[in-house]
């Protein structure tokens, strides 16, 4: 009897292992499908600037009668498209490196307000040139979060420039606020534009997903990479309706304690 119980136990283990293998297999197949989809999206996105470069260089080579102004115009397009291509490749590589678990930056405690200040300063010119009021309202007290300041500043730049770029209001307004509560630092970018439909609020975070204003320059990667950066820092990036009527993006990051200061003797021994 002990023998048959043992056989039963073993055969149950074999069945469980087989079920586990089947699950792993279907997960791998799912990842494979996602990778294929990503590759075909990437090739599609790269083809547009490549085609422009190819056709304008063809024209330059086959039309010697072109005057100087015409040549310069085509060369300028080739240069602009190559710059766009390089930027696109950089973003794709950065994103795929992070998705594969590589951080690609130094991680250390820093004050997130300094990243927000940097982003505000860098978006001011854009806001002014588009006649958009960019305002700083509530401000968090000084705290520390773990991650990288430049990467977080890039996230804020993406959010603020989107709020400017997609704002079609007659009196466009973008407000930036921050606060810390219960050990969580939150920074919000609110706008009074047309907002994002509830049904699209998760879709906009997908790679290459673009909304109804494709005339605005963009790659559809800004929000995907921003969410990846914030999540790599252990935080969350979410979207809801703003009280101003448009979209409201919130970055939430856990605060950390400052490393205790070492007494001078120990500090110098290090």
Residues 237, 251 contacting (CB under 8 angstroms):
yes
| Least Å from the CB of residue 268 to ligand ADP | 47
Strand pairing category for 173-181 and 133-136: parallel
Q: Which is nearer to ligand ADP, 132 or 221 (CB)?
A: 221
Q: Which is nearer to ligand ADP, 145 or 204 (CB)?
A: 204
Residues 252, 238 contacting (CB under 8 angstroms):
yes
**Pick from 124, 95, 128: nearest CA to 222:** 95
Residues that bind ligand ADP (CB under 6 A): 158, 162-163, 166, 191, 193, 196, 204, 209-211, 213, 218-224, 246-247
CA dist., res. 156 & res. 249, Å (int)? 10
Helix axis angle for 222-232 and 68-99, nearest 10°, is 30
| Least Å from the CB of residue 222 to ligand ADP | 3
Supply φ then ψ for residue 253, to 5 degrees.
-135, 140
| Least Å from the CB of residue 185 to ligand ADP | 21
Q: Which is nearer to ligand ADP, 147 or 193 (CB)?
A: 193
| Least Å from the CB of residue 156 to ligand ADP | 13
| Least Å from the CB of residue 267 to ligand ADP | 43
Q: Which is nearer to ligand ADP, 57 or 169 (CB)?
A: 169
The residue number whose beta carbon is nearest to ligand ADP equals 211
Strand partners, 105: none
DSSP 1: -
| Least Å from the CB of residue 84 to ligand ADP | 12
**Pick from 187, 221, 191: nearest CA to 98:** 221
Q: Which is nearer to ligand ADP, 186 or 207 (CB)?
A: 207
Please name the residue that has the structure tokens 């958009």. Answer: 132
Q: Which is nearer to ligand ADP, 149 or 210 (CB)?
A: 210
């Amino acid at each position: 009897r002990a023998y048959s119980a043992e056989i039963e136990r073993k055969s149950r283990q074999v069945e469980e292992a087989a079920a586990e293998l089947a699950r792993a297999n279907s997960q791998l197949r799912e990842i494979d499908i996602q990778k294929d989809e990503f590759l075909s999206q990437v090739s599609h996105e790269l083809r547009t600037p490549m085609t422009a470069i190819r056709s304008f260089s063809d024209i330059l080579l086959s039309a010697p009668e072109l005057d100087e102004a015409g040549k310069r115009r085509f060369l300028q397009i080739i240069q602009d498209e190559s710059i766009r291509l390089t930027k696109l490749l950089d973003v794709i590589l950065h994103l795929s490196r992070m998705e594969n678990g590589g951080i690609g930056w130094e991680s250390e405690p820093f004050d997130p307000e300094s990243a927000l200040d940097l982003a505000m300063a860098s978006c001011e010119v854009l806001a002014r040139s588009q006649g958009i009021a960019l305002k700083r309202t509530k401000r968090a007290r000084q705290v520390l979060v773990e991650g990288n300041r430049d990467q977080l500043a890039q996230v804020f730049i993406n959010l603020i420039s989107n709020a400017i770029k997609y704002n079609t209001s007659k009196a466009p307004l973008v407000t930036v606020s921050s606060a810390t509560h219960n050990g969580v630092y939150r920074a919000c970018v609110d706008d009074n534009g047309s907002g994002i439909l509830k049904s699209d609020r998760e879709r906009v975070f997908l790679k290459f997903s673009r909304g109804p204003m494709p005339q605005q320059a963009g790659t559809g990667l800004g929000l995907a990479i921003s969410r990846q950066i914030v999540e790599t820092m252990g935080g969350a990036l979410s979207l809801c309706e703003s009280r101003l009527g448009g979209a409201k993006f919130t970055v939430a990051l856990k605060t950390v304690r400052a490393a205790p200061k070492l007494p001078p003797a120990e500090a110098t021994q290090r």
